[in-house]
Structure 1
Amino acid sequence: MAQLRPGPPEAPFPCPLPGAREGRDPARAIKRGPSRVPAELVAATQRDRLYDGLVHTVAEKGYANARVTDICQAAGVTRPVFYALFDGKEDAFLATYRHGTHVLLRMMDAAYDAARDWQQGARASLGVLLELLARVPAFATMALVEIDAVGPRAREERARLLRHFHHFFAQAPTPPPPAEADELISAVVGGIYSTLCGYVADGRTAELPGQLPHLSFFLLAPFLGPAAASAALLSDSGATAKAP
């Protein structure tokens, strides 16, 4: 099963997450003058550049201090274009967040679906999440830390995202009593999410992939039991182990 592997910081990585590129990336420059580029393509390119510009601006300045002018400058896009695409800063933030989390979930789903069983799939999807956040720390800051400054609509978006993560537990073993499956899953998802937020807020986003063994154990143990969870992780890493 293919998994994303950490690479050197300078290594190219074709990541579609917002913030993976600079908004003013010359490869997406739209030439002036008469053009046969369809208007829909121009708008899509400008929107993508604004996604990137917003991520970098919010990560650098914080949501409260990020101005529409700053976002436009980071994206190389004019204010009239910004307001043709978004109602304002909050609307642009939410659109960027939805787009970025959709990308994350799509890549996590692919890793999960390629696995041979639930425990491998859950661990693989978690590994993809950690790796992508580490590779695009500006998006991690924007989506996990600065979202708290946006308001009720952003909190609703985050709640929907966390609820979607329950999908990765659909094939998990039934937890032992007295645990209720849905409540247990919410606790596990919330615990992992809180850990990620802490690392990102502390400026330790690059360390997230190294937390995969610990977070995987936290994910598996409530459903498999501690001994079986340890054995599963050792087996996945290529070692052999016997549960006592």
Structure 2
Amino acid sequence: MREANMAMDDAADPRLPLLPGARVARDPARAIKRGPSRIPPDVVAANQRERLFDGLVQMVALKGYPNARVGDICQAAGVTRPAFYAHFEGKEDAFLATYRHGTGVMLGLMAAAFHGAGDWRTGVRNGLDVLLTVLASVPTFASMAIVEIDGVGTAARRERDRMLSRFREFFVSAPRRDQLPDELVESVIGGIYVSIYRQVAAGRTESLRDLLPTLTYFALVPFLGHEESASELLPSPESPATSLPCGATVPMPSVGSA
């Protein structure tokens, strides 16, 4: 677990991107200060975009995608409607941009844990540990990206398919990989996703890491066999990664323009 914990410690570095929904969008510390000094436009735009990511995640998790209006997102983020439309064409475009950014952050953390391990088996376990811990630490993002995405439409389903296809990289170096069909890897990835979906949809997001032994076994057994993979079914140790700063629990935003 040392490699995974190192990767998660890196995730706490404030210089690294945070998962959308992990911060209060209307935190006064994030507001653009008015005054005589001119703030570069790109800094203002980046600040607005990040706050809109957080506001969208929080509103979609609170109201559901169909009921979360652009006005709600703007109020949660403390950003005006004209500023919203300067960044996005509409609610769906904003959702997709937030989804791409958030899943990119998540996959980056997983890749760091996977490639930092000494062997493929440990890398898979560490990567899954990071995935489950990160999602559990930001339940609003998990709800938005895993459950609410179903109500967005065709473009969102394509984005989800592209995201899932990126998980194939974790199986390239698997033992006996060249002896097994590609469909097997797709089935493993799909099975892991469905297990996570069921947990999040049932409102058990905070307990996602309980799935780690089963999902690790499921990912390993086609390549290592039952006997070598069975030890993964034993209870896993507690991980300090569960208190990620990048996954700090935040209250739902109050509404009101700023």
When normalised by structure 1's length, the TM-score is: 0.88
Alignment partner, residue 159 of structure 2: 157
Alignment partner, residue 172 of structure 2: 170
Alignment partner, residue 68 of structure 1: 70
Q: Please give the alpha-carbon distance, in whole angstroms, between the structure 2 residues aligned to 1:205 and 1:4.
A: 20
Alignment partner, residue 3 of structure 2: 2
Q: CA deviation at 1:173?
A: 1.1
Match of 1:95 among 70, 94, 97: 97
Structure 1 counterpart of 2:125, one-letter code: R
Alignment deviations for residues 203-241 of structure 1 (CA, whole Å, 9 cap, x no partner): 00011112111110111111110111124676x97xxxx
* Highest RCO, 1 vs 2 (Cα 8 Å, sep ≥ 6): 2
Q: Please give the alpha-carbon distance, in whole angstroms, between the structure 2 residues aligned to 1:167 and 1:191.
A: 16
Q: Please give the alpha-carbon distance, in whole angstroms, between the structure 2 residues aligned to 1:61 and 1:205.
A: 17
* Structure 1: gaps spanning 5 or more residues: 6-11, 238-244
Alignment partner, residue 46 of structure 2: 44
Aligned-partner SS, 1:3:
helix
Q: CA deviation at 1:175?
A: 5.4
Alignment deviations for residues 92-135 of structure 1 (CA, whole Å, 9 cap, x no partner): 00000000010001100100011001111011111100000000
The 3 A distance-change label for structure 1 pair 73 and 232 is closer
Alignment partner, residue 139 of structure 1: 141
Alignment partner, residue 242 of structure 1: none
Q: CA RMSD in A?
A: 2.1
The share of aligned pairs that are identical, in percent, is 58
Q: Please give the alpha-carbon distance, in whole angstroms, between the structure 1 residues aligned to 2:3 and 2:122.
A: 12
Q: CA deviation at 1:31?
A: 1.2
Q: Please give the alpha-carbon distance, in whole angstroms, between the structure 2 residues aligned to 1:196 and 1:35.
A: 47
Q: CA deviation at 1:35?
A: 3.1
Match of 2:30 among 22, 28, 36: 28
The 3 A distance-change label for structure 1 pair 86 and 77 is same
Q: CA deviation at 1:22?
A: 1.2
Contact 1:175 1:222 in 2 (8 A): no
When normalised by structure 2's length, the TM-score is: 0.84
Structure 1 counterpart of 2:199, one-letter code: Y
Alignment deviations for residues 21-53 of structure 1 (CA, whole Å, 9 cap, x no partner): 111022211112433221100100000000000
* Structure 2: gaps spanning 5 or more residues: 7-11, 238-258
